[in-house]
């Protein structure tokens, strides 16, 4: 240990938003939850309880957990009024495509998959029940009963869903695919069922009486709607961090393991995701009880407060900025890859905007490099032919013939607008700052290797050749994409630099370096930052809008648009020492 880290590892793996003065209507465990529901049902001869579930929620666990504390319960499953798995799969096939990775964003709504005769039969059955508790539960439960006596929304983060895919605990909703590879399960979730479930979530968010955290097996936490929104409102009025997660990969390294202090049996860690709201979670802490929710809910329920009027108008309920780590320290090269142009991602996948990105080098070895752009005079047909021969295993792709390779050093920043061939090489720790669409990587060559599951990693040369910008050659790359650093302002004890994303990219980045407090103005636009140098910093409000918030080295944090200004200063072991932050926001 200590090979990479020259400072104590104090990275917080479980950040929380401490909700002030709010402990009411928080229920932990099925005993407390069922006791509360019993107190409601005891006041009614017939009590209708509806639990609308996100796909992947352990419905049987909820049924068993509630039934132990409730008597005379009639369970109605939403599953029983839906069309068969084969009928659902047939309806969505056009959007799923035959590709192993990519589909097309589907516009479906739950009502399209209801078998009306089954629904009528279930409603008649419910109408014949005169007393006791009717528990309606599942994905689409509110199709059966929109206005129950108690409406509970059972939620789950997408990262946890993926873990359940990996362990084969679950397949997709209405799909007989438990044994299918996780990539295909993820594809069906990403392009179809999560989109449909998110529409339900947003529709009933103001109607729900309670929200149920189902992240951990047999450890549910439920909070009343008023309590839930008190927590969410506090989050969008203070700095906060989402809960990071870490993922091994065939090319992964050892930097994340050491700096974050991850002690387990994973062979490496390739990714650390600490600002991907679609997949990360957010912890709200009520007294000594922690409630976990998908961080995307802040975007769905408080988009203007979180992102600002201008960003919301442009991106809707999509958080546009993503921060994550790519660790190849003692690892391997990433795949040689390219991302689609805006029109290509719109036409072929139904996404509104594309995956422009940049690589900020948080750390690297002395001989580290980046593959970026094409060499001068590359023959397009010849290169594509060599890529296809390499895919078939006939040759190893001669990257030195076609692709630039540049040296990198710590704190370098490289822009990678969509259409630019790129690859971070071995012995690098990259902070990737990019637009949110995060799965649209067209791998062109993967260095003759298979993935951790023993299968060849998907390569998409036919997609890639359509979007490669063949004029992004050595001279253009050197003039446009490498360390386009410009000093913006110098003050007593600190310097502000524009580190330069290309004009085709909507993200602006600024680096602040110094040993004195720096005041930032949001201008009503969400800011995403990372402490890229120094052990600790404290974010304060010049006007007392929020309580001081402490961050540590390599932690990403979000400043909501609702905050007008904030000051970042070295603190704790960094007091009086130089620190550095990198800030990203949407250009206006």
> 424: which 2 tokens?
């971070």
Domain boundaries, the chain: 17-235, 246-276+322-475
Q: Which residues contact 232 (CB under 8 A, 6 or more apart)?
A: 284, 297, 298, 301, 302
- Cβ count within 10 A of residue 217: 9
Q: What is the DSSP pairing of strand 132-138 with strand 73-77?
A: parallel
Distance CA 225, CA 212 (A): 10
Report CA torsion sign: 565, 571, 577, 578. negative
What's the confidence (pLDDT) of residue 525?
A: 98
Report CA torsion sign: 391, 394, 396, 401. negative
What's the confidence (pLDDT) of residue 45?
A: 94
Domain 246-276+322-475 in this protein, CATH class: mainly beta
- Cβ count within 10 A of residue 53: 25
**Residues across the chain:** 588
Distance CA 483, CA 487 (A): 12
What's the confidence (pLDDT) of residue 251?
A: 96
What's the confidence (pLDDT) of residue 457?
A: 79
The answer to whether the 17-235 and 246-276+322-475 domains have the same CATH topology is: no
Domain 17-235 in this protein, CATH class: alpha beta
Distance CA 181, CA 396 (A): 27
Instruction: Kindly give the confidence (pLDDT) of every residue in the chain, 588 residues in length, as a single tens digit, with 9 standing for 90 and above.
Output: 467 766 566 999 999 999 997 778 999 999 999 999 999 999 999 999 999 999 999 999 999 999 999 988 999 999 999 999 999 999 999 999 999 999 999 999 999 999 999 999 999 999 999 999 999 999 999 999 999 999 999 999 999 999 999 999 999 999 999 999 999 999 999 999 999 999 999 999 999 999 999 999 999 999 999 999 999 999 999 999 999 999 999 999 999 999 999 877 899 999 999 999 999 999 999 999 999 999 999 999 999 999 999 999 999 999 999 999 999 999 999 999 999 999 999 999 999 999 999 999 999 999 999 999 999 999 999 999 999 999 998 999 999 999 999 999 999 999 999 999 999 999 999 999 999 988 999 999 999 887 777 777 789 999 999 999 999 999 999 999 999 999 999 999 999 999 989 999 999 999 999 999 999 999 999 999 999 999 999 999 999 999 999 999 999 999 999 999 999 999 999 999 999 999 999 998
What's the confidence (pLDDT) of residue 4?
A: 72
DSSP 293-335: EETHHHHHHSHHHHH-HHHHHHHSS---EEEEEEE-TTS-PPP
pTM above 0.85, yes or no: yes
Residue with the two structure tokens 């669409």:
437
């Amino acid at each position: 240990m200590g090979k990479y880290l020259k400072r104590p590892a104090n990275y917080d793996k479980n950040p929380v938003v401490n909700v002030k003065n709010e402990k009411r209507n928080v229920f932990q465990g099925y005993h407390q939850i069922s006791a509360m529901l019993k107190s409601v049902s005891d006041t009614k001869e017939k009590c209708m309880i509806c639990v609308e579930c996100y796909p992947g929620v352990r419905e049987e666990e909820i049924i068993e957990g509630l039934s132990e504390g409730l008597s005379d319960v009639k369970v109605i499953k939403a599953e029983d009024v839906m069309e068969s798995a084969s009928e659902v799969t047939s309806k969505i096939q056009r959007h799923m495509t035959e590709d192993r990775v990519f589909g097309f964003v589907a516009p479906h709504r739950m009502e399209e998959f209801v078998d009306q005769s089954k629904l009528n039969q279930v409603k008649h059955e419910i109408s014949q029940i005169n007393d006791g508790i009717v528990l309606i539960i599942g994905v689409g439960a509110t199709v059966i009963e929109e206005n129950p006596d108690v409406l509970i929304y059972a939620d789950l983060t997408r990262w946890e869903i993926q873990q359940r895919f990996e362990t084969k605990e679950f397949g997709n909703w209405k799909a007989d695919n438990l044994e299918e590879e996780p990539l295909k399960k993820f594809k069906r979730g990403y392009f179809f069922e999560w989109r449909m479930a998110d529409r339900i979530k947003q529709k009933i968010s103001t109607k729900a009486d309670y929200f149920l955290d189902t992240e951990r097996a047999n450890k549910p936490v439920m909070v009343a709607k008023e309590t839930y929104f008190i927590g969410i409102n506090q989050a969008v009025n203070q700095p906060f961090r989402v809960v990071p997660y870490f993922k091994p990969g065939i090319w992964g390294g050892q930097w994340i393991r050491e700096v974050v202090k991850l002690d387990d049996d994973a062979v490496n860690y390739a990714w650390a995701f600490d600002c991907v709201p679609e997949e990360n979670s957010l912890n709200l802490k009520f007294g000594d009880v922690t409630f976990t929710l998908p961080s995307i809910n802040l975007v769905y329920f408080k988009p203007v407060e979180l992102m600002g009027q201008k960003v919301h108008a442009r991106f809707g309920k999509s958080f546009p900025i993503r921060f994550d780590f790519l660790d190849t320290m003692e690892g391997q090269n990433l795949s040689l890859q390219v991302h689609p142009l805006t029109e290509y991602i719109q036409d072929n996948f139904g996404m509104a905007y594309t995956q422009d990105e940049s690589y900020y080098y948080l750390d690297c070895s002395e001989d580290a490099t980046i593959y970026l752009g094409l060499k001068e005079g590359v023959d397009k047909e010849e290169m594509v032919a060599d890529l296809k021969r390499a895919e078939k295993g006939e040759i190893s792709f001669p990257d030195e013939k076609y692709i630039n390779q540049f040296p990198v050093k710590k704190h370098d920043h490289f822009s990678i607008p969509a259409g630019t061939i790129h690859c971070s090489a071995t012995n690098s720790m990259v902070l990737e700052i990019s637009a949110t669409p995060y799965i649209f990587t067209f791998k062109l060559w993967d260095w003759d290797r298979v993935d951790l599951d023993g299968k060849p990693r998907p390569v998409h040369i036919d997609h890639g050749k359509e979007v490669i910008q063949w004029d992004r050659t050595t001279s253009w790359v050197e003039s446009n994409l490498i360390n386009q650093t410009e000093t913006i302002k110098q003050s007593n004890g600190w310097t502000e630099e524009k580190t330069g994303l290309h004009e085709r990219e909507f993200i602006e980045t600024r680096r602040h370096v110094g040993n004195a407090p720096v005041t930032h103005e949001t201008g009503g636009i969400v800011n995403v930052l990372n402490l890229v140098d120094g052990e600790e910093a404290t974010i304060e409000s010049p006007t007392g809008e929020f309580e001081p918030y402490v961050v540590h080295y390599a932690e990403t944090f979000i400043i909501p648009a609702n905050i007008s200004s904030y000051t970042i200063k070295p603190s704790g072991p960094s007091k009086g020492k130089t620190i550095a932050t990198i800030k990203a926001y949407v250009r206006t």
